[in-house]
A and B are shown apart, each in its own frame.
With several copies, the nearest count.
Chain A
Amino acid sequence: MTRYNNMELMITIAARTLEDGAIVLVGTGVPVATAMLAQMTHAPDLTILFEAGGVAPLLPTMPISVGDSRTTFKSLKATTMAEIMEFCQTGMVDYCFLGGAQIDKYGNLNSTIIGDDYKKPKTRFPGSGGANDLASLCWRTMVVTPQNDKRFVVKPDFITTPGFLEGGTSRVDAGLPKDTGPYRVITDIGVYGYHPETKEMMLLSLHPGKTIEDVKANSSFEILIPEKYDMTTEPTDEELEVLREKVDPTRVIIGRG
């Protein structure tokens, strides 16, 4: 038996990615838990933004909505969504956190529909929300998600949110800002980055107890496995304690497993 569940593992690893002094735009759930954990451990000067208009609140507890009162509780600024998106567009925002029903090898995300008839979809999801903007405009897009071959697909039914599009230089060619794009995908199996040239998803580190077979079996596309990759450093007792006792004491997020 491990000392932590998959959710705790993913949140901890994601939190370590956020360096002190960075500006991060988060949503509810895993993203805000991640940012709060980072703030309470190694990154006290992490600035947290919410797309609805909340700037750097002193979060008393985790918000349930990207716009609820907590996102402006003792905040530095309470503003419009356009202004938050414009902060991203000017290059001020380092990280955003996104998810989706499907992700492909270039980090493109689908949160719009499942099915091949757009006009009458099998399943309708919310759509972009702010995801397309954030992934287009923030420097680094983080994805934290359980990994399986239904989610890691060859061709998403809809590209809601840009990753590296068709790889190579296609993202910049499309007109998206230079040097932006997918940065890390953190799953229950490993941590992935992207190949510097082809922009294909690539294993960076494998979680304790997981194998290359797990990586492959849980993706419909081929994930690059470089000769050298790391083993994920497990969550420390301190990280787990802060996560469980301060960030999510009612286990709303980490209770999911």
Chain B
Amino acid sequence: MSENLKKGTGELFTNVDPDKMRAFVREKNKKMLSKITTVKEAVEKFVSDGDYVAAGGFGGVRIPVAVIHEIIRQGRKNLGFSGHVSTHDCQLLSAGECFDRCDAAYIVGLEARGLSSNARRVFQSGKINVTEWSNGALSWRFKAAAMGVPFLPIRSMLGTDTFNRSAAKEMLCPFTGKKVAAVPALYPDVAIIHVHRADIYGNCQIDGIVVADDDIAKAAKKVIITTEKLVDNDEIRREPNRTVIPYWTVDAVIEVPFGSYPGNMPGLYFSDEEHLSEWLKVEKDEQLFKEFLEKNIHSCKNFSEYLEKNGGMEKMNKLIQQEHLLK
């Protein structure tokens, strides 16, 4: 029976063997030390050309924009990345031409806002090695890694071209004899995650949707956290049921207020729909887009300057109001 089992033809970009990850993890310094640094230093130290990167959040919600800007500014190339509802983050990394391979579940689009013409150009160029997955499959791949097992059985993907272009494998359940899809653990080299609250050690709490960030933090070799607010360790300990990411997985912590801008930060500020529309618009004109990127990313010394250029506190206050009035 097993000779009829299908395998996806997509490339597997990362190691699947949990014993390799275990050996890495064993050597990590697990002391509860301060990991406070700057975005610039974190990217210099923890993101290298060729690394496989996973971004937390949900495309335009709770996304680590400051770190992605810095990755672009520092000119990282040949990255791999997981397109797990990758919307504005995919748009940014495409703008920086930072990657050459991608596990794609949701890329090039910005949900209801439309499609990024530049991200499409990049993905249509033939220069990107793409392996297909579903959002669920990528979530479960992170979960397998976070659980410390080499794969998880799932019941989606079967029978489709998404499966055929993935690196999943059909297998038979040892108990029911029924077919399931096995999806391999995904261990990113670096995870970049933006959270609501973190202490200096990297214990993190998140409000609203968690997406896959609990698992991504555990799955990744290195973890960079940006946080809206640095809080005292006592505050974490006051609500231990709310802690999503434990300190020992984390390598860098940076306080970046409005760090998800122009994305939404649940409970704090809404997305800047005007700015995202501008992105989609300028991408259609090569020269305009170049100038736009120069202004908003390359010429900015840091994320604060980007915020300043896009309306500063006045704009942020508007987005805060929008979030709370829910309009």
Contacts and interface: CB of A to CB of B under 8 A. Distances in A.
Chain A–chain B contact at Cβ < 8 A: yes
Interface of A: 20-23, 27-29, 45, 47, 50-56, 58, 60-61, 64-82, 85-92, 94, 108, 112, 118-133, 136-137, 139, 158-162, 165, 170-171, 174-179
Contact of B156 (A125, A136, A158): A136
Contacts of A66: 58, 85, 111
A176 B155 contact: yes
B157 A64 contact: no
B147 interface: yes
B23 to A, nearest CB: 7
Contact of A79 (B18, B58, B210): B210
A30 B242 CA distance: 30
Contacts of B126: 119-120
A72 B147 contact: no
Contacts of A88: 136, 148
A72 B161 contact: no
B136 A132 contact: yes
Nearest to B171: A175
Nearest 5 A/B pairs, CB to CB: A89-B148, A91-B22, A175-B179, A174-B159, A67-B58
A47 B248 contact: yes
A89 B147 contact: yes
A127 B240 CA distance: 30
Given A85-B135, A89-B154, A127-B83, 6 more contacts: A55-B240, A55-B246, A72-B209, A86-B218, A91-B148, A133-B137
B211 A129 contact: no
Interface string B18-55: 11011111100111110000000000000000000000
Contact of A68 (B61, B162, B179, B215): B61
B160 A52 contact: no
B12 interface: no
B161 A65 contact: no
A112 B132 CA distance: 9
Contact of A128 (B58, B61, B162): B162
Contacts of B140: 82, 85
Contact of A47 (B23, B30, B249): B30
Interface stretch (B70-78, B100-108, B224-232, B301-309): B100-108
B69 interface: no
Contacts of B188: none
Contacts of A70: 326
A86 B142 CA distance: 13
20 contacts: A52-B209, A65-B61, A67-B59, A68-B61, A72-B208, A77-B243, A78-B207, A82-B136, A87-B218, A91-B24, A94-B30, A112-B162, A118-B165, A120-B126, A125-B109, A133-B136, A139-B26, A158-B161, A175-B178, A176-B159
B261 to A, nearest CB: 14
B124 A90 contact: no
A94 B22 CA distance: 11
B161 to A, nearest CB: 4
Contacts of B326: 60-61, 69-70, 73
B162 A127 contact: yes
Q: B159, B180, B203, B273: which has the most chain A beta carbons within 10 Å?
A: B159
Contacts of A158: 161
A65 B215 contact: no
Nearest to B26: A91
B211 A80 contact: yes
Given A76-B237, A89-B148, A28 B323 contact: no
Interface stretch (B251-259, B262-270, B278-286): B262-270
B157 to A, nearest CB: 6
B189 interface: no
Q: B21, B111, B149, B218: which has the most chain A beta carbons within 10 Å?
A: B111
B233 to A, nearest CB: 8
Given A45-B31, A177-B18, A82 B134 contact: no
Contact of B159 (A23, A27, A162): A162
Nearest to A43: B31
Given A53-B209, A67-B85, A76 B111 contact: no
B213 to A, nearest CB: 8
B158 A65 contact: no
Contact of B111 (A58, A61, A65): A65
Contacts of A128: 105-106, 132-135, 162
Contact of A53 (B32, B162, B211, B271): B211
Interface in B194-220: 203, 207-215, 218
Contacts of A177: 18-19, 22, 155
Contact of B22 (A90, A121, A165): A90
A69 B61 CA distance: 8
B240 A28 contact: no
A133 B135 contact: yes
A69 B162 contact: no
Contacts of A136: 155-158
B181 interface: yes
Contacts of B24: 91
